[in-house]
A and B are shown apart, each in its own frame.
With several copies, the nearest count.
Chain A
Amino acid sequence: MAHPVDPETAVGQEAFELDPAHLRIVEALLFAAAQPVDERSLAAALPPQTNVGAVLTELQRQYEPRGVNLVRVAGKWQFRTAKDLGFLLSKQAVEERKLSRAAIETLAIIAYHQPVTRAEIEDIRGVMVSKGTVDALMEVGWVRIRGRRRTPGRPVTYGTTEAFLVHFGLENIADLPGVEELKGAGFLDAVPPAGFSVPSPSDALGPDEDPYEGDEADLLAPPEESPAADG
């Protein structure tokens, strides 16, 4: 037969003489703090004469059987994941990064102007684009080689990937806003410079574009499943 959770282990069910309001305050302060907090700082948030040590001892006791414990480190207090649950934590924190300015600009040009060759990206940006920038975008998984332009030298054309759409929350590459929409949303001044136009990007193979056959066999993976626009 099912039995209810033991009230003894449940946080907040205990009978204690301490003012529950004080426990709540210390609990919230420790939870929101970005580093361990000393008792003096905690005392400052409580009425004078409050026994901070007793509040902390009681909190520590209440959290002792739980998934999170209140621990004392270097004379200060902090909540930590219970030691035996360390397996839930990953060893390394992943630091979020941003693309360099050159990289995000190149990515934006590829997104809007695809299919586009490196020479064309340079022409639009007016500066040399290092191969490293495009390679790095391919490594992130947002840019792919789409095909080859049917022009002398048959340069490869670049486009964006499904991962690009997912990351930037687009259902479709054609959903990128056009000039009027960039203006309307405030990204462009009401009067953009002469000659400003925005192409309508498309996944479809361009008229002068051949599908990319790949230089190496391992680049050819089986076709992807239908794209799921799942955030």
Chain B
Amino acid sequence: MMDPEFESAESFEAAPIAPEEALIIEVDGFEGPLDLLLALARNQKVDIAKISVLQLADQYLAFMESARRKRLELAADYLVMAAWLTYFKSRLVLPQAAPVGEPGAEEMAALLRWRLARLQAMRDAAARIMARDRMGRDVFPRGEPEPVQVIRTRKYSDTMYDLLTAYSRERVRVLGHRVYEMVRPPILLIEEARERIERMLGKIPSWSLLTRFLPPDWTSGAKRRSAIASMFSAALELTRDGKLELRQMAPFGEIFLKDRTEKAGEQTT
């Protein structure tokens, strides 16, 4: 099943944790998919640079599956990451099938390791900053300053924060009077679907299932049907605009989509 080369590489590392074991992790504690992946990675107890991405992908996908069973609402970010990891696994299984110009499994694994290592590095840096000798906690300025001539003193202490808070508060207050609640029928607007896909442009791995990108809470019943229809229409529009490619292998078969913006991005100024 697996490419022998990769199997041997992966088996160098800690034995995969059974999916059930990884599920003790609660979604509430995590700030997004990368945070979750980093926690899973730390469970492997090896240097992030040497982490088994296959094992990580399995754990992550198992986590997603359990969240789905528990009907937990996961943000779109989690789904995008799941799609990416699924694609990674398919690359691992069929390395020779990688289309020209698309990353192979090794590249993908290296990228994920890099992102996890970067997040960890920034967390460590944050801890180092917060541990410094801080004014008002560890070191103190003169407690009884005397006014000095050479120092320009500002007359007003209003800040950008005050200005933006005032503006937002004021506009919302005035407009708030004109707002009324509207009960929404279970219809995903095409604009919303389009916005959703557009937000993911640039991050959709090659050929992904359209249904993977349904908004959370729109994955069953009438809402699912509306969501699929709108996502498909939006995908068609984006295909017309040259931002996506669509593919359907057989009538009534699954619809796949592929991002075309990445290449475009590299060429423009």
A–B direct touch in complex (beta carbons closer than 8 A): yes
Chain A interface (Cβ within 8 Å of chain B)?
28-29, 31-35, 37, 41-42, 44-45, 78-83, 86, 88-94, 96-99, 101-102, 104-105, 107-109, 111-112, 124-128, 135, 138-141, 144-145, 166-170, 176-178, 182, 185, 187-189, 192-204, 206-208
Cα of A79 to Cα of B143 in the assembled complex, Å: 10
Residue of B nearest to A113 (CB): B122
Cα of A91 to Cα of B156 in the assembled complex, Å: 19
Whether B155 pairs with A107 at a CB distance below 8 angstroms is no
Whether A178 pairs with B125 at a CB distance below 8 angstroms is yes
Does B220 count as interface, using CB distance less than 8 angstroms?
A: no
A197-B103 contact in complex given A32-B143, A107-B129, A111-B163, C-beta closer than 8 Å: yes
Cα of A32 to Cα of B142 in the assembled complex, Å: 5
Whether A169 pairs with B133 at a CB distance below 8 angstroms is yes
Question: CB-CB < 8 A to A28: which residues of B?
Answer: 140
Proximity bits, B72-110, A CB within 8 Å = 1, else 0: 000111001101100000000000000000110001101
Question: CB-CB < 8 A to A96: which residues of B?
Answer: 136-137, 153-157
Whether B269 pairs with A208 at a CB distance below 8 angstroms is yes
A33-B163 contact in complex given A199-B84, A208-B266, C-beta closer than 8 Å: no
A35-B171 contact in complex given A141-B159, A166-B135, A177-B128, C-beta closer than 8 Å: no
Question: CB-CB < 8 A to B269: which residues of A?
Answer: 208
Interface size on B, residues (CB 8 A): 91
Contact of A105 among B126, B137, B150 (CB under 8 A): B126
Does B14 count as interface, using CB distance less than 8 angstroms?
A: no
Does B251 count as interface, using CB distance less than 8 angstroms?
A: no
Residue of B nearest to A207 (CB): B266
Question: CB-CB < 8 A to B177: which residues of A?
Answer: 126
Whether A104 pairs with B163 at a CB distance below 8 angstroms is yes
Residue of A nearest to B202 (CB): A204
Contact of A32 among B33, B148, B153 (CB under 8 A): B148
Question: CB-CB < 8 A to B199: which residues of A?
Answer: 201-203
Residue of B nearest to A177 (CB): B128
Does B42 count as interface, using CB distance less than 8 angstroms?
A: no
Cα of A140 to Cα of B178 in the assembled complex, Å: 33
Residue of A nearest to B130 (CB): A104
Question: How far, in Å, is B21 (CB) from chain A's closest CB?
Answer: 23
Question: CB-CB < 8 A to B147: which residues of A?
Answer: 32, 89-94
Between-chain CB contacts (< 8 Å), 12 pairs = A32-B142, A32-B145, A32-B148, A89-B148, A168-B160, A176-B125, A177-B164, A187-B121, A193-B114, A195-B103, A195-B107, A201-B77
Cα of A185 to Cα of B49 in the assembled complex, Å: 12
Whether B266 pairs with A104 at a CB distance below 8 angstroms is no
Does B4 count as interface, using CB distance less than 8 angstroms?
A: no
By Cβ-Cβ distance, the 4 closest A-B pairs, closest first, are: A126-B34, A127-B32, A108-B126, A34-B145
Question: CB-CB < 8 A to B8: which residues of A?
Answer: none
State which residues 184-220 of B face A: CB under 8 Å: 199, 201-203, 205
